[in-house]
Structure 1
Amino acid sequence: MSHQRIRVAIVFGGRSGEHAVSAATAAGVLGAIDRGKYDVVPVGITRSGEWVLAADDAGALEIRDGHVPEVDATGDGRLLVPFGSGPAQLVVLSPGAPPNELAGVDVVLPLLHGPFGEDGTIQGMLELAGVPYVGSGVLASAAGMDKHYMKVVLAGAGLPVGPYTVLTPSAWRRDRAACLDQVASLGLPVFVKPARAGSSIGITRVESLDRLVEAIEEAQRHDPKVIVEAAITGREIEVAVLEGRGDEPPRTTMPGEIVVTNAEHGFYDYEAKYFDSAGVDLRCPADLPPGVADEARRLAAEAFDALGCEGLARVDFFYTPSGTLVVNEINTMPGFTPFSMFPLLWERSGVAYPELIDELLQLALARPTGLR
């Protein structure tokens, strides 16, 4: 390294519907990262896909009092990330000025949620550039983002998943009646979801078949591919996972539980997650029998390995009245604000938020890019 401190590019914003959530995550990290150890370069991506050198201002990126953060193109200039070996040289392209090359970046922390960031796209770019980065690689990120293929992989590994069906855009155009019959075979209620979105964006709980088309079209506003899941009665349980060091197995926390106390939400939707914290109770750890807690941790580690995840993940379960656990999904870039379930679970396990950021960066620096 040509500089004393480790230079980390924190990338946030992006083109997905989770733009504001990503910015809020970046706010938490910017406020907690060890500035004595890390030299931070905040990099924002606008909704149109422009990369800009952003202000190092955590407060401006928080979701609070109705303020929804936004990355715009009015910063210090556009960014160009050249490919090649060695540390990435970020080049600032400002109108009417010559390119200004920043010092090399040693590692990237991509805090992007949703498509065009969490789905393997930026991971592939960083692999081509030969730059270490936090989190899962291309395949695990892509499979983790697509709820269809996530379930295929998890079921193939013998993990318990719930009943579902997938509506591709071509199938919906070709034979809408057959698609509706597929959904009806699941029974009611069902959850209609964009296949490749997160933060509960575009999700509708459907309790009547006459609302189904409307729900599918709402999901298609966010993704032409739609997944419909049979509703599972049960408690919502989550386990946070960290990659093991070296060849050690994944590390897991005790399970946490999400309890929606505001009946207006119906389920843990986007509004409940980010705008009504008083209407949600995050219980860390969850009140579960010891055997169930151990089983959730085992299944979480197996799901992490089944997809080939790296760095971090959060595995979500339903704990049914019959005492069984069903894997709902795995999130390869979970919510990472100081108040999100992933950091809260690790904090209750003895790893404070700044230490968690440091651990993730160190795991990334220790891992080579390319085939591994």
Structure 2
Amino acid sequence: MSRKIRVGVVFGGRSGEHEVSIHSARSVIENLNPQKYEILPIGITKQGIWHVGLESYRALGTDIPPKLLANTQCEQSGLPVKTDPSLTLPAPISEALDVVIPVLHGPYGEDGTVQGLFELLNIPYVGSGVLASAVGMDKAMMKTVFAQAGLPQCKYLVYLRKKWEQDREPILREIERTLGFPCFVKPANLGSSVGISKARDRASLVAAIDEAARHDRKILVEEAVDGREIEVAVLGNDEPHASVAGEIVPKAEFYDYNAKYVDGTSDLIIPADLPEEKMTEVRQMAVRAYQAIDASGLSRVDFFLERKTGRFLINEINTFPGFTIYSMYPKLWEATGLPYDQLLDELIRLAIERHQEKNRD
């Protein structure tokens, strides 16, 4: 009988989505089949210090998942365990792993940085490569790529923080003239709705840009779209396929951080109430967006369905979306016929497939 696949689950990280990552990783660990996999938790503190083994949970100040307490595969399997902090993944540990699942959201995890580390270590990893991860993280660059691919999107403007700090008045006038109110202001490189604000007048616009500038050097301002929020999960490498579409109905003004992770006040409608031709259209657009940035493994693609025109406008792509059992990405695949544990199996298979293809002679 062949041995189990040795899986490193990386979580935490330096971004503002540190806590979201911990929740996602817990769900991943609890749903990896213990008959197939040996699990090595690898936690990264907010300061960027790496901890390996059960110590990683203690170092990050969070409870150890019950599955790891009951079945400490990493300690019992002969996988090397390191309890001392380190700034990198030690070579003996990386060499013992068959695949890594970087359950990291936002900068320093979803943006191509940790993917570059795994490329240097020549370890298979779940999700997109360096380029697609970087493009998917930077909303301004993402929109440039989507425009090149002919994907319709809302009007937007991009500013650098330094320019905003030096010369505010021309920026405010341009936004008022080009986009008007209300509009949305976002940090270009952050996820989970962190740092996003809705501006209704000049005073709230100034406050919104100041808030976004706290999180990133690049600031994105978008027109407000009167539309339904539609999301599609995409899975695969060179021949990706899309899930059924789902709809988010926020109870707040928009689907913000609290609605996603704190109070759960938004409704998730899966599948979305769409005519068959519109369902087909948005699934095809999701695959086009996925291929436009050369994504692999997984992504969630978000759209607005404009009420006035009936057009789909692409909003963004997330190359490693939230992955709790309640998150949209796994719920969309569950509704499409692929339950959470089998989805993890497929993601691991795709990671190994992509690694073998890249290293093919």
Q: What TM-score, normalized by structure 2, do the two folds share?
A: 0.89
The match for 2:247 among 248, 257, 267 is: 257
Alignment of 1:53-202 (within 5 A): 53-55=52-54, 60=63, 76-79=83-86, 80-82=88-90, 89-90=92-93, 104-184=96-176, 185-202=178-195
Q: Could you tell me which residue of structure 2 aligns to residue 339 of structure 1?
A: 326
Quick one: structure 1 residues 61 and 273, their matched pair in 2 at CA, closer, same or farther if it must change by over 3 Å?
A: farther
Q: Give the CA deviation at 1:77.
A: 2.3
Give the distance between the partners of 1:57 and 1:174, measured in 2 at CA.
Answer: 43
Q: Give the CA deviation at 1:141.
A: 0.3
Q: Which amino acid aligns with 1:259?
A: V
Give the distance between the partners of 2:149 and 2:49, measured in 1 at CA.
Answer: 39
Q: Give the CA deviation at 1:371.
A: 7.7
Please say if residues 145 and 331 of structure 1, whose CA atoms lie closer than 8 Å, have aligned partners that are also in contact.
yes
The match for 1:226 among 219, 229, 235 is: 219
Q: Give the CA deviation at 1:295.
A: 0.4
Please say if residues 147 and 227 of structure 1, whose CA atoms lie closer than 8 Å, have aligned partners that are also in contact.
yes
Please say if residues 50 and 89 of structure 2, whose CA atoms lie closer than 8 Å, have aligned partners that are also in contact.
no
Q: Give the CA deviation at 1:224.
A: 2.0
Q: Which amino acid aligns with 1:76?
A: T
Give the distance between the partners of 2:84 and 2:147, measured in 1 at CA.
Answer: 46
Quick one: structure 1 residues 61 and 280, their matched pair in 2 at CA, closer, same or farther if it must change by over 3 Å?
A: farther
Please say if residues 312 and 332 of structure 1, whose CA atoms lie closer than 8 Å, have aligned partners that are also in contact.
yes
Q: Give the CA deviation at 1:222.
A: 1.2
Cα deviation, 1:44-64, whole Å, max 9, x if unaligned, reads 0000000002428798278xx
Q: Could you tell me which residue of structure 2 aligns to residue 41 of structure 1?
A: 40
Please say if residues 43 and 57 of structure 2, whose CA atoms lie closer than 8 Å, have aligned partners that are also in contact.
no
Alignment of 1:20-35 (within 5 A): 20-35=19-34
Give the distance between the partners of 1:81 and 1:27, measured in 2 at CA.
Answer: 20
Give the distance between the partners of 1:170 and 1:357, measured in 2 at CA.
Answer: 42
Is 1:308 matched up with 2:294? yes
Q: Give the CA deviation at 1:289.
A: 1.1
Give the distance between the partners of 2:244 and 2:352, measured in 1 at CA.
Answer: 27
Give the distance between the partners of 1:239 and 1:332, measured in 2 at CA.
Answer: 12
Please state whether the residue corresponding to 1:116 is helix, strand or coil.
Answer: coil
Please say if residues 311 and 360 of structure 1, whose CA atoms lie closer than 8 Å, have aligned partners that are also in contact.
yes
Q: What TM-score, normalized by structure 1, do the two folds share?
A: 0.86
Q: Which amino acid aligns with 1:145?
A: M
The match for 2:276 among 290, 296, 299 is: 290
Give the distance between the partners of 1:11 and 1:187, measured in 2 at CA.
Answer: 42
Please say if residues 24 and 61 of structure 1, whose CA atoms lie closer than 8 Å, have aligned partners that are also in contact.
no
Is 1:239 matched up with 2:239? no
Give the distance between the partners of 1:371 and 1:326, measured in 2 at CA.
Answer: 37
Number of residue pairs the alignment of both structures matches: 335
Please state whether the residue corresponding to 2:314 is helix, strand or coil.
Answer: strand
Q: Give the CA deviation at 1:260.
A: 1.4
Please say if residues 23 and 61 of structure 1, whose CA atoms lie closer than 8 Å, have aligned partners that are also in contact.
no
Please state whether the residue corresponding to 2:206 is helix, strand or coil.
Answer: helix
Give the distance between the partners of 1:173 and 1:203, measured in 2 at CA.
Answer: 19
Please say if residues 309 and 332 of structure 1, whose CA atoms lie closer than 8 Å, have aligned partners that are also in contact.
yes
Taking only aligned residues, the RMSD between alpha carbons, in angstroms, comes to 2.0
Please say if residues 41 and 53 of structure 2, whose CA atoms lie closer than 8 Å, have aligned partners that are also in contact.
yes
The match for 1:349 among 331, 336, 339 is: 336
Give the distance between the partners of 1:120 and 1:181, measured in 2 at CA.
Answer: 35
Is 1:358 matched up with 2:320? no
Is 1:280 matched up with 2:266? yes
Give the distance between the partners of 1:54 and 1:113, measured in 2 at CA.
Answer: 21
Give the distance between the partners of 1:371 and 1:284, measured in 2 at CA.
Answer: 38
Q: Could you tell me which residue of structure 1 aligns to residue 78 of structure 2?
A: none
Q: Which amino acid aligns with 2:249?
A: V
Q: Could you tell me which residue of structure 2 aligns to residue 213 of structure 1?
A: 206
Percent identical pairs in the alignment equals 50
Cα deviation, 1:191-227, whole Å, max 9, x if unaligned, reads 1111100000011000111211111111111112110
Q: Which amino acid aligns with 2:202?
A: L
Give the distance between the partners of 1:154 and 1:371, measured in 2 at CA.
Answer: 29
Q: Which amino acid aligns with 1:81?
A: L
Q: Which amino acid aligns with 2:112?
A: G
Q: Could you tell me which residue of structure 1 aligns to residue 11 of structure 2?
A: 12
Q: Give the CA deviation at 1:76.
A: 2.8
Give the distance between the partners of 1:144 and 1:190, measured in 2 at CA.
Answer: 22
Quick one: structure 1 residues 168 and 281, their matched pair in 2 at CA, closer, same or farther if it must change by over 3 Å?
A: same
Give the distance between the partners of 1:29 and 1:159, measured in 2 at CA.
Answer: 32
Q: Which amino acid aligns with 1:368?
A: H
Unaligned runs of 5+ residues in structure 2 are 66-81
Please say if residues 187 and 220 of structure 2, whose CA atoms lie closer than 8 Å, have aligned partners that are also in contact.
yes
